[in-house]
């Protein structure tokens, strides 16, 4: 215990600089881990906040077998958008005058009053408030507190009305707060999340290990001196453990403080709609305590493990570790084994199932270990290559690498592993994207993102379309209706038993379509037309053969007949028929008047792209009872929110992980230059220019880096290709993301370069003659 | 005649294929100042390290107060260094992160003394060696001479029976060297401690009662002062 306490004192009193640097590095690791661990709880908190304000209707209670009681609030939900942001809320009829309240609301608004979120209140006070007046009529009488919002930047409102606006009748609400089961995550995303967590954890572990071994040379001298005056090996080990414990505890405490201070900033970076409350970015208490304890314990273990490889005697410290003087081909075994397991997925050639997931994760883990194990071999090969060059700098760097290839390899391992995991992770993003292909994403290929697209269960009247066209900034507004045509003789949709019995067609004027898509289409005189396919007909929406057909209404009964013309003109709108769920388009003039009302439709409004125009369109549609009008960009953002969230999180995680790796490298590089002051000073005293020393330091990192990154990229690409081969559905649709891989690798190399460049100025001070003094 | 305190008999030690000691034998008597002399590579420092239990010879034996030292465990030899031996080396004997006072108190603390007691004794020794004013300074903040006097204080603080000094003035100018030697020898004699001194400087060797010259790892000559 005395030795442990002495170690603690040595850390606190003796080597404050080292303790400060190590503590800061560990604090960075702790804060980073806490932020990462807080991300999923933040997502869950957002879901819970939404659930907590979820209205529970009479119907829900009855379905749950509960006895309905007197309803007290009638609510009708509003969904809209404003300037690219989701705008939602409820129309509220407070039947019993405030007897139930949603969370965060002091009192429900009366007719003509609004209770809104702080950001929406700001918008209503801002210069564009008029754009919201139609949808949010009334006076703001209160703001919703944090308990009633899913995020600090959410636009949410309770609108007081005397009765819900038509066509929605509203629902009678008994209380607020309904927690449904959590949504299940797809296997792809689960694997991606696991890989991401691994990718983030690895550099943090490397950073902790690097920081703990900081200033090993100084520590070695201290330990030898203690042995000289009679310290036993056990006392020396305890002394080193005490020091490691101090920096670990300090790092944990400081990390928690940094996390608390920077949490609002980190919460602001989380890429979700409406933002995340800083308080929600909080790891579960078990994980929090786990991290705070794990870092000192890890620091202690690293220190003790390092001590096991040292022989500390009174004359100095010797390392038991073997210098890697031969190629050590055995080091290739784990990497080859890992890649072989991944390669086995190619051979199995079936969809991801239990066995494949085991192969994937087992192979991935072995490959990660293999990359770390093989790095010294690559480093040594880089040394062998460097000594062949005639320059002094390359000779010095090469000899140094050959003398101790593990040292440089260790500093690069964190970055190299991040690149491997990152490359694998990046391969998942196209798959996730491909799985979320939608009407909006198809339309966005042919229409400006600012176009408003609305799917309606009914059809707007011709006056409404004209009114939209008349709005300032609107270029074109077109309704594309859909209709079901049945084979003659069929009197009900239930009688259609064969695929050819039924067909869906789209109904629109060819010239209108050309105008809204901004294309010069040659419509000709035909009243039927088809769209040129761009992705191939994968939809199953076949072209309707010519002849007489029965038109079915929304109730599945015939409402009239239509004659499909013998010839159809093919036009190119830049989108496929699949987008409109139709293989054939018919001119409205062909359809019987009785059929018009029965159709569902898609409304396309092309605008000048100005946000004010979009809001005008939205307000006009709102007046027609159409709430959810969104631009293509907004729809895509909403549809891709999860995908984009994962994508952004993956990229952000990669950047952070590479930066953590960079911090490790910086800490190790600065320490290495300091530890080699005497050697560098000797070389400078011999007349070696500082520039040559700098080049040598640079080459010492860059040569093995190039090799290690090459191995990591090749292994990552192989792992990704193996994964893709196991997925029979996506392998033909999704290519390997070489550009993203190049970007990730380039970024990692750039960070390493920048970090190495930062340490180069130290070479001048390290090479000063005063460092020739031993003590 | 007094029984020898420390004896090395027919000691052999090789580093790889290089023989550092080849049958070296020497005796150290209580209270005696013995100088080990010899050219570079003659094995004088290695012999000192064997006598002090730092190195274990390949063959031969080292006895302290009649007991074998060389076949004892590391822990026993460490304990001896803590209680009975003191050291002054040319370089590296002070812990750079500890103040002069803490350095001197270190052997006492490792032996289990309370920190306050240990530092009180350490301060007395620093003052006795005329470096009480640097008690709160780190080794890097004091001059070479002051640093070696701190090292002498640390070597003597636990009341050792033998002080091993390997080139104690090697990094000092002659004036400081003389001062350090006078303080070291004077304090050791006061304590009744023997001193084993490795040096190649005749002026330093002159402080010894007896000089032993080594050549090629074995005793070449012995001179009484």
Alpha helices in A309-450 (DSSP H): 332-348, 354-387, 392-403, 405-434, 439-443
For B68-116, what is each residue's pLDDT tens digit?
988 888 888 888 888 888 888 876 578 777 889 988 988 888 778 888 8
**pLDDT of B166 strictly over 90:** no
* DSSP one-letter code for A493: G
Q: State CA A654 to chain mean position distance.
A: 10
Q: Are A241 and A300 in contact (CB under 8 A)?
A: yes
Q: What is the pLDDT of residues A604-650, one digit of tens each?
A: 899 898 988 998 988 888 887 787 788 888 887 777 666 666 666 66
To test the contact with chain B by mutation, choose from A11, A13, A230 the residue with the greatest count of B C-beta atoms within 10 A, namely A230
Q: What's the mean pLDDT when you consider all of chain B?
A: 86
Q: What are the angstrom distances between the C-alpha of A733 and each of A139, A156, A372?
A: 52, 39, 33
Percent of chain B with pLDDT over 90: 20
pLDDT tens string A170-192: 777 777 877 655 444 455 555 55
Preceding peptide of A167 cis, ω within 30°:
yes
pTM: 0.65
CB contact under 8 A, B107 and A3: no
Q: Are B85 and B166 in contact (CB under 8 A)?
A: no
User: How confident is the model at residue A257, as a pLDDT?
Assistant: 94
Question: How do residues B1-17 score in pLDDT, each as one tens digit?
Answer: 568 889 999 999 988 88
Can you tell me the distance from the alpha carbon of A151 to that of A142, in angstroms, rounded to the nearest whole number?
18
CA A202/CA A566 separation, integer angstroms: 66
Pick among B97, B163, B166 to test the A interface (most A CBs inside 10 A): B97
Specify the DSSP element, H or E, that contains B20.
strand B18-28
Higher-confidence residue of A672 and A602: namely A602
Of A2, A225, A775, the CB nearest to B112: A2
Q: What would the pLDDT profile of A458-515 be if each residue is shown by its tens digit?
A: 667 767 778 888 889 988 888 888 888 888 877 777 777 777 778 888 888 888 888 8
pLDDT per position as a tens digit, A47-82? 888 888 888 876 665 556 665 555 556 777 777 888
How many angstroms separate the CA of residue B225 from the nearest CA in chain A?
A: 30
Mean pLDDT of B181-187: 87
Over chain A, what is the mean pLDDT? 78
Residues of B in contact with A318 (CB under 8 A): none
Tell me the three state secondary structure of residue B192: coil
Residue B212 pairs in a beta bridge with B36, B222
Chain A CB contacts of B165 under 8 Å are none
Chain B interface, best mutation among A2, A22, A221, A225, by max B CB count within 10 A:
A225
Q: Is A180 on the interface with B (CB under 8 A)?
A: no
State the DSSP H helix or E strand holding residue A491, giving kind and residue range, or none if neither: none
- Higher per-residue pLDDT: A620 or A312: A620
Within 8 A of A230 by CB-CB distance, chain B residues are 78-83, 85, 107, 110-111
Q: Are B85 and A237 in contact (CB under 8 A)?
A: no
Angstrom distance (rounded) from CA A705 to CA A412:
7
Would you call A453 helix, strand, or coil by DSSP? strand
* Complex-level ipTM: 0.76
Name the most confidently modeled range: A588-597, A656-665, B65-74: B65-74
- Asked if B140 reaches chain A (Cβ–Cβ under 8 Å), the answer is yes
Chain B residue with minimal CA distance to A234?
B75
* Residue A538 pLDDT exceeds 70: no
The arithmetic mean of pLDDT across residues A760-765, rounded, is 79
Q: Is A775 touching B (CB cutoff 8 A)?
A: yes
Pairing type for strands A85-94 and A113-116 reads unpaired
Nearest-CB residue to B110 (from A15, A235, A316): A235
Give the distance from CA B75 to its chain's centroid.
19
Angstrom distance (rounded) from CA A473 to CA A762 = 61
Q: Which two tokens stand for residue B153?
A: 């204080």
Helix-strand-coil split of chain A, %, nearest 5? 60, 15, 30
Q: Which residues of B touch A10 (CB under 8 A)?
A: 95, 97-98
């Amino acid at each position: 215990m005395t030795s442990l306490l002495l170690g603690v004192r040595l850390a606190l009193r003796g080597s404050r600089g080292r303790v400060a640097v190590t503590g800061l590095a560990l604090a960075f690791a702790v804060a980073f881990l806490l932020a990462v661990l807080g991300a999923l709880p933040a997502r869950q908190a957002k879901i819970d906040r939404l659930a907590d304000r979820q209205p529970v209707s009479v119907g829900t209670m009855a379905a749950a077998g509960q006895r309905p009681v007197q309803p007290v609030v009638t609510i009708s939900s509003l969904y809209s958008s404003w300037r690219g942001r989701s705008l939602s809320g409820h129309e509220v009829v407070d039947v019993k005058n405030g007897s139930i309240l949603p969370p965060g609301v002091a009192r429900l608004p009366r007719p003509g009053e609004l209770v809104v979120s702080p950001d929406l209140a700001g918008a209503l006070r801002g210069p564009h408030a008029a754009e919201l007046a139609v949808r949010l009529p009334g006076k703001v009488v209160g703001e919703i507190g944090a308990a009633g919002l899913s995020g600090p930047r959410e636009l949410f409102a309770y609108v007081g009305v005397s009765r819900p606006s038509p066509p929605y009748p509203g629902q009678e609400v008994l209380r607020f707060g309904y927690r449904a089961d959590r949504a299940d995550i797809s296997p792809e995303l689960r694997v991606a999340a696991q890989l991401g967590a691994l990718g983030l954890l690895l550099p943090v572990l490397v950073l902790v290990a690097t920081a703990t071994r900081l200033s090993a040379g100084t520590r070695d001298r201290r330990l030898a001196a203690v042995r000289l005056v009679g310290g036993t090996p056990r006392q020396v080990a305890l002394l080193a453990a005490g020091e490691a414990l101090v920096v670990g505890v300090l790092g944990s405490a400081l990390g928690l403080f940094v996390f608390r201070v920077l949490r609002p900033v980190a919460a602001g970076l989380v890429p979700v709609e409406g933002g995340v409350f800083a308080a929600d970015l909080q790891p579960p208490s078990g994980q929090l305590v786990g991290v705070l304890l794990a870092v000192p314990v890890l620091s202690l273990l690293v220190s003790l493990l390092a001590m096991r490889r040292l022989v500390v005697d009174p004359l100095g410290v010797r390392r038991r570790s073997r210098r890697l003087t031969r190629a050590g081909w055995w080091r290739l075994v784990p990497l080859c084994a890992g890649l072989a397991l991944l390669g086995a997925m190619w051979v199995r050639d079936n969809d991801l199932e239990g066995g494949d997931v085991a192969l994937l994760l087992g192979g991935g883990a072995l490959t990660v270990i293999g990359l770390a194990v093989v790095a010294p071999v690559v480093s040594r090969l880089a040394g062998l290559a460097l000594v062949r060059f005639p320059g002094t700098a390359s000779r010095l760097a090469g000899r140094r690498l050959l003398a101790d290839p593990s040292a440089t390899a260790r500093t690069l391992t964190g970055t190299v592993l991040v690149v491997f995991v990152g490359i694998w992770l990046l391969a998942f993003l196209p798959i996730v994207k491909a799985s979320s292909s939608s009407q909006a994403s198809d339309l966005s290929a042919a229409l400006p993102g600012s176009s408003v697209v609305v799917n309606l269960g009914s059809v707007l009247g011709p006056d409404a379309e004209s009114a939209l066209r008349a709005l300032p900034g609107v270029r074109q507004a077109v309704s594309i209706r859909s209709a079901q045509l049945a084979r003659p003789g069929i009197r009900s949709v239930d009688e259609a038993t064969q695929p050819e019995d039924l067909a869906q067609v789209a109904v629109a004027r060819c010239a209108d379509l050309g105008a809204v898509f901004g294309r010069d289409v040659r419509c000709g005189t035909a009243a039927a037309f088809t769209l040129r396919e761009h992705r191939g007909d994968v939809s199953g929406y076949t072209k309707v053969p010519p002849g007489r057909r029965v038109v079915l209404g929304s109730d599945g009964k015939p409402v009239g007949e239509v004659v499909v013309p013998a010839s159809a003109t093919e036009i190119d709108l830049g989108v496929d028929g699949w987008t409109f769920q139709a293989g054939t388009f018919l001119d409205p003039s062909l359809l019987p008047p009785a059929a018009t009302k029965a159709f569902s439709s898609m409304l396309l409004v092309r605008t000048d792209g100005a946000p004010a125009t979009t809001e005008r369109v939205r307000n006009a549609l709102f007046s027609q009872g159409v709430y959810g009008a969104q631009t293509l960009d907004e729809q895509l953002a909403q549809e891709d929110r999860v995908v984009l969230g994962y994508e952004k999180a993956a990229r952000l995680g990669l950047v952070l992980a590479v930066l953590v790796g960079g911090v490790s490298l910086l800490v190790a590089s600065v320490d290495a230059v300091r530890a080699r002051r005497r050697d560098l000073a000797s070389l400078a005293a011999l007349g070696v220019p500082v520039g040559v020393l700098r080049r040598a330091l640079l080459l010492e990192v860059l040569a093995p880096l190039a090799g290690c990154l090459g191995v990591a990229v090749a292994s990552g690409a192989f792992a990704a290709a193996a994964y893709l081969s196991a997925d029979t559905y996506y392998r033909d649709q999704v290519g390997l993301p070489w550009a993203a891989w190049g970007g990730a690798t380039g970024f990692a190399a750039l960070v390493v370069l920048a970090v190495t460049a930062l340490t180069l100025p130290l070479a001048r001070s390290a090479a000063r003659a005063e460092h020739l003094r031993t003590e | 005649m007094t029984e020898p305190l420390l004896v090395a008999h027919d000691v052999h030690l090789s580093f790889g294929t290089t023989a550092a000691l080849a049958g070296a034998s020497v005796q150290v008597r209580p209270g005696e100042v013995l100088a080990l002399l010899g050219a570079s590579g003659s094995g004088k420092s290695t012999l000192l390290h064997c006598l002090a239990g730092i190195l274990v010879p390949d063959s031969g034996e080292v006895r302290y107060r009649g007991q074998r030292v060389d076949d004892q465990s590391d822990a026993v030899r460490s304990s001896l260094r803590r209680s009975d031996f003191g050291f002054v080396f040319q370089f590296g004997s002070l812990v750079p992160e500890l103040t002069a006072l803490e350095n001197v108190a270190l052997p006492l603390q490792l032996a289990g003394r309370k920190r306050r007691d240990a530092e009180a004794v350490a301060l007395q020794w620093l003052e006795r060696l005329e470096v009480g004013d640097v008690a709160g300074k780190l080794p890097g903040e004091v001059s070479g001479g002051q640093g070696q006097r701190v090292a002498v204080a640390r070597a003597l603080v636990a009341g050792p029976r033998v002080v091993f000094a390997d080139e104690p003035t090697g990094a000092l100018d002659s004036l400081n060297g003389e001062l350090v030697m006078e303080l070291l020898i004077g304090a050791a004699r006061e304590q009744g401690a023997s001193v084993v001194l490795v040096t190649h400087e005749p002026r330093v060797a002159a402080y010894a009662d007896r000089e032993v010259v080594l050549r090629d790892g074995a005793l070449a000559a012995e001179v009484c002062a």
